[in-house]
Amino acid sequence: MIQQDIPPQLRWACRRGMLELDIILLRFLEYSYLHLSPAEQALFSQLLECNDQDLFRWLLSKETQPEEHLQSIVEKIRAYALSGL
């Protein structure tokens, strides 16, 4: 993967107020983002506009579900995080 291909504003948007989210989102960005389709990349950008509390619940607790159009990208990030890569 070529780091220069990742838009810097996405890297900045992955830095959150919770360390757990920083780690999950930045690693996903670095290792998986460039392998996503353009539509999935757009969903990832939309997801980063959500607040930290919602992201935490969606990615780490499964207690609540994201809006339907974000469900697929949340599942990809969750699967990546659980894979331990």
**Per-residue pLDDT tens for 47-84?**
999 999 999 999 987 777 888 899 999 999 999 988 87
Q: What percent of the chain stands above pLDDT 90? A: 68
> CA 82 to CA 24: how far, in whole Å?
10
| CB-based contact 14:52 (threshold 8 Å) | no
pLDDT band at 3 (very low <50, low <70, confident <90, very high): low
CB of 32 closer than 8 Å to CB of 41: no
pLDDT of residue 1: 45
CATH number of the structural domain 3-83: 1.10.150.250
**Cα–Cα distance between 19 and 57 in angstroms, integer?**
14
Q: What's the pTM value of the predicted model, to 2 decimals?
A: 0.87
Q: Where are the domains of the chain?
A: 3-83
Q: Between residues 29 and 4, which one has the greater pLDDT?
A: 29
- What one-character DSSP code corresponds to residue 57? I
